[in-house]
Each structure stands twice: as C-alpha cells, then as structure tokens.
Amino acid sequence: MAGAIIENMSTKKLVILGVILMLFQAFSFMVGGLIAPSPTAAVSYLATKCVDNEKTHHKNPKWFTPWGPDQCSKIKDFDEAMVKKIEANNIVFAIHIPPPNTEMSTWFQFLLLILHFDIAFKIQNQIADGASITIDVRLAYRDDKLSEWTQMAHSVEQRKLSCNFTAAKTIENEGRLYDCDLLPFMELGSVAHKYYLLNVRLPVNERKKVNIGIGEINDMRLVGIHQNGGFTKVWFAMKTFLTPSVLIIMIWYWKRITQMTRPPVLLEKVIFALGISMTFINIPVEWFSVGFDWTWMLLFGDIRQGIFYAMLLSFWIIFCGEHLMDQTERNRFSVYWKQVIPIVFGSFCLFIFDMCERGVQLKNPFYSIWASDVGTELAMAFIIVAGICACLYFLFLCFMVFQVFRNISGKRSCLPAMTKARRLHYEGLIFRFKFLMLVTLACAAMTVIFFIISQVSEGHWLWGGHTVQVNSAFFTGIYGMWNLYVFALMFLYAPSHKRYGDEQSSADQAGNSGEDTQLTTTITHVDGPTEIYKMTGKEAQE
C-alpha cells in the first residue's frame, strides 16, 4: 500500500480529528441514553376464557373479543365450565392487542408474542412425560373500533410442554402451579394495523391423543414485545444522518483512488467494500415500513447486518495479511481463501437458520423452528457449525496478528541499516498497522463491555435526576461507533497525494534491485510524519 494520509498527517491534525470523532461518539451515546426510551416494551396479556355456544362454528369464524362493546360471554374458571357442561372445543381464549385505550403503531416495527400456561398440579390429572400441546389459533386485525375483524393468519401448532413441579406431589399441594418454560408463540415482522385479536382453542381429541395429558390448564398468558415508537424514531433519524456521511466519504475515497496512476491495490478495494456494506446497513429503508406493510423488513435487516459483519471480519484478515512485510504473495484475494472460507460458511449457516425461522414466519407467524424435534436439531446444528467457524476465524486472526508482530519486531532490528526510502516505507507500514490494531481493539472492547452491561443491568440508570436508558445508549452508541470506525478508516487510509522526490534515495534504489518488489515509488517527506510516527521510528531503531 502506498503512503496513506495517516502517515503524512501532522500530530496536530490527527489529534483534532480524534477529538472530533470522540465528540460524535459521545453524542451518539447520549442520543440513545437521554432522548430515546428503552428499545423494547413488554406488555402482559391474560387471556379471557370465552364460550362458543354455536355448533356450526366452522363456516364463518366468529370472532370473540375479551372486552369492549361486543365482548364474548365468559367463564371465570373451568369449574364453572364443568358445571355448565361446556366442552373443551367450545372454549376460546381471547386476547386483544393492545390493552384498552391504546393503539398499535407502525413505529413498533415488530410484534413478538411469548406464551405461558398456568397449569395447576392435580394428582388425578398430571402432565404426561414429553407432553405436547396442540394450539388452534387465529389472528385477526381491524383498523377502527367499529369495523369487522379480518383474519390474517390461521394455524394449528404444537408446542412441547416443559414443566417442573418443585414441591412434593401430595394432596396438600394440589392447586399449586407448575413451573413451566416460556413457549414461542408468534412473531409479526410489521405492525401495520391498530388492533389485533387472537382466538386460541385447545381442541381435545381422545382417539388421536390430541391435548391429552396436558394437566389442568387454568390460564393462558401472553407477553407482547414490540419496539418502542420513540426508540424507532431516534434510530431512523440516526440512520438518516449517517447514510450521507458515510456515502460522501466513500465517494471522496473512490476519487482519491481513481486519481492515482496505478490500479487500486487489494486493501484499498476491501476498504471500499467495507464502506459499501456500511452504507447498505445505514440506508433507512425502514422508513417504508411506516407507510407500507412489508413484513420482510426484519429479515432484510438481519441480512444486511450479516453482510456487514462478514465484510468487517474479512477486512481484518486481509489487513493483517497485507502488512506481513516479507510475504511475497500479496495483493491478490486468492491468497486469503483459507481464512475467508470460515467467515463465508459461518455466515451462510446463520443465514439459512434465519431463513428457516424468520423466513417461514413471513407466511405463518406462529411457526417456530424450536417447536419440533427435527427443527430443534437442525437449528442447533446450524448454530454449532457457525460457532465452530467463528472459533476457526478467531484462531486464524490471532495467528496472523502474531505473525505480523513477529515480522515487525524482526524488521525493527534491520531498520537502521536500510536505505532511507526502505526505512520510511517499513516505518509507515508499522505505524499503519499499530494504529488500526489499537483502534479496532478499542471498538471491539467497547462493544463487548456494553453488551455485558446491557445484559446485567435493569436497562436504565438514574443519574442526577435524569433517567439514562443504558440499553438504548448501547444500541445508538455502538452503532455510531462502527460508523465512525469505517469513516475514519476510509479517511485516514486513503492514498496520500503528497509526493516528494529525493534524489539521494533514487540513486540508492539502483543498487538494491533485489528488494524492489517491496517498495513503491512513493516516498514520504521527512518533515511530514507525526510525533507518534517519529517515536515509532525511534523505537524501531532501538
């Protein structure tokens, strides 16, 4: 790689640029922490037990609403159903989303529903081992409180019950609830309507063993998770601001490359590709979800993130490889296929897994890959293979970093004996590599630290009267940080346009034709390097 801007930039300018980037970084954290609400909201819904008195309920499905003007006739518990001789197939669990006096909004982006059963322990009616529950569920929507419900999904699903009874199974403990795992229920990739209605039946068929041995179900609870509208607005605004910023630096970077007389080297191409993938993830196509009912937006976002991460990981490998100073084979992508294959394969496995889960949910929102044994095994297989690829990649990356550092320490001892041109060249390589290594480690550490904080904390701190949303700060801060990373990368590692001929070094070149393949015609000026650069050079000489 020819001399980059970072080598020729003065210390003063480099510090100024760093401070500006730090200010933007702090600002992106504060936008999430102070302006936005928490990223998601969870609302608990307790299903109402409605009674379907009609015998021919399969012709036109009647919709049962739990509250409101046309609410259904209800029972409080199943003792009441037993007294009234109501059968299981005539019980409908009804859930209205959202709660009274509220409306769903397209700003909520997705709706994830989690299912939990309250099952009471009865000696005569225990949960069979490996019990599976069959759920006949319909989903409807409407957009004002007076219109009819329109069906948008219907499915018969099975979920495996996984329940523990922690107390002793005695008559004394009858009526206590089992401790049951949460079950995935539904995921909508968009929230295009104001009101949703779920009608759930647990049909019983003794001959087919449908819903036999599921214990004494008292209640059905759902938890609805959606993105908060305020967080969505802040997120969209951030994306809308970042897209032109990265796009402009990308265009500028490409102009710098094309202005040179030589074709771009591999590293320059990879940096440009990284900018493209960052722009791809930035483009706020989500704005369309506010106006259109595009349920694939979640899946599209996942794909874009996958592309960016694959590109970033590949860039790190190639950056290390191109800074192996004694490597004779370079500037060709084929040199790195061994290291890049784990990235591509791991990403591909995760992509297939995501298609099997979210892709299928585009058609059937109640589908869950974890609901069946085959699905669970397939999902685990994909995740394990992706994990193995990640470990392989990490080992390769560590090995290459180790090689580069060993190469650097080897070169340092030779630096004083080199000609001026060769010494400046190697010093530039060393400085470029160390700088990027430091910045990358800082960004990765910041991401991991904030991930851990968001896992451990409650999600918000009280700070001098202000509420700081840690989780929102994490999302906007880390997202802004990686944008600044790519921005700084393209700016600092663009080719420098400073060219200075040195007659003395030109004369020396003639006598060292054996090492010409390592050198370029660009020679950096002695007065240009930063203080850090000079210190690096001194250190190398010692």
Partner 1 sequence: MCTGLPRTACPLRLIALCILLSHAAAYFGLTGREPLVFLPGPFANEPTNGKAHLKQCEQMTLTRRQKRLCRREPGLAETLRESVRLSLLECRYQFRNERWNCSMDGRGSLLKRGFKETAFLLAVSSAALSHALAKACSSGRMERCTCDDSPGLQHREAWQWGVCGDNLKYSTKFLKKFLGQKRVSKDLRAQIDAHNINVGIRAVKSGLKTTCKCHGVSGSCAVRTCWKQLSPFQDTGHLLKYRYDTAVRVHSVTNSATGETELAGPRRHSITLPRPRPTELVFLEESPSFCRPSRYSPGTAGRPCSKDTSCSSLCCGRGYNTALRLTTLSCHCQVRWCCHVECQTCLREEEVYTCKKH
**Using the rule CB under 8 A, which residue among 21, 34, 114, 341 binds partner 1?**
114
460 binds partner 1 (CB under 8 A): no
Q: Which residue, 394 or 451, is less far from partner 1 as judged by CB?
A: 451
Minimum separation from the CB atom of position 301 to partner 1 (A): 8
Cis peptide before 98 (omega within 30 of 0): yes
Minimum separation from the CB atom of position 511 to partner 1 (A): 57
Residues 344-363 that bind partner 1 (CB under 8 A): 350, 353-354, 357
Q: What share of the chain is helix, strand, coil (3-state, %, to 5)?
A: 50, 20, 30
From 82-90, 289-297, 408-416, 419-427, span contacting partner 1 (CB under 8 A): 82-90
Check if the beta carbon of residue 113 is closer than 8 Å to that of residue 200.
no
**Using the rule CB under 8 A, which residue among 8, 25, 28, 38 binds partner 1?**
38
**Using the rule CB under 8 A, which residue among 115, 140, 180, 217 binds partner 1?**
217
198 binds partner 1 (CB under 8 A): no
- Rounded-to-integer distance, Cα 12 and Cα 117, Å: 64
Residues 372-391 that bind partner 1 (CB under 8 A): 383
- Buried/exposed code over 276-295 (b: 16+ C-beta within 10 A; e: otherwise): ebbbbbbeeebeebeeeebb
Neighbouring-strand partners of residue 51: 91
Q: CA nearest 142: which of 101, 220, 192, 196?
A: 196
Residues 476-515 that bind partner 1 (CB under 8 A): none
Print the SS3 string covering 478-527. Answer: HHHHHHHHHHHHHHHCCECCCCCCCHHHHHHHCCCHHHHHHCCCCCCCCC
From 239-247, 338-346, 413-421, 453-461, span contacting partner 1 (CB under 8 A): 453-461
160 binds partner 1 (CB under 8 A): no
Minimum separation from the CB atom of position 295 to partner 1 (A): 16
Minimum separation from the CB atom of position 42 to partner 1 (A): 4
91 φ/ψ angles, rounded to the nearest 5 degrees: -95, 130
Q: Which residue, 78 or 254, is less far from partner 1 as judged by CB?
A: 78
144 binds partner 1 (CB under 8 A): no
Residues 403-442 that bind partner 1 (CB under 8 A): none
Residues 62-81 that bind partner 1 (CB under 8 A): 66-67, 69-71, 73-74, 76, 78, 80-81
Integer CA distances (angstroms), 432 to 21, 188, 437, in order: 18, 46, 9
Integer CA distances (angstroms), 173 to 80, 161, 177, 458, in order: 22, 21, 9, 34
How are beta strands 195-201 and 111-120 bridged, if at all?
unpaired
How many degrees, rounded to 5, is the angle at CA 403 between CA 398 and CA 409?
125
Residues 512-531 that bind partner 1 (CB under 8 A): none
**Using the rule CB under 8 A, which residue among 19, 42, 380, 398 binds partner 1?**
42
- Rounded-to-integer distance, Cα 82 and Cα 84, Å: 5
Check if the beta carbon of residue 174 is closer than 8 Å to that of residue 151.
no
130 binds partner 1 (CB under 8 A): no
**Using the rule CB under 8 A, which residue among 62, 154, 160, 221 binds partner 1?**
221
**Using the rule CB under 8 A, which residue among 136, 152, 230, 405 binds partner 1?**
230
178 binds partner 1 (CB under 8 A): no
Contacts of 481 (CB under 8 A, 6+ apart): 25, 28, 443, 446, 447
Minimum separation from the CB atom of position 112 to partner 1 (A): 6
162 binds partner 1 (CB under 8 A): no
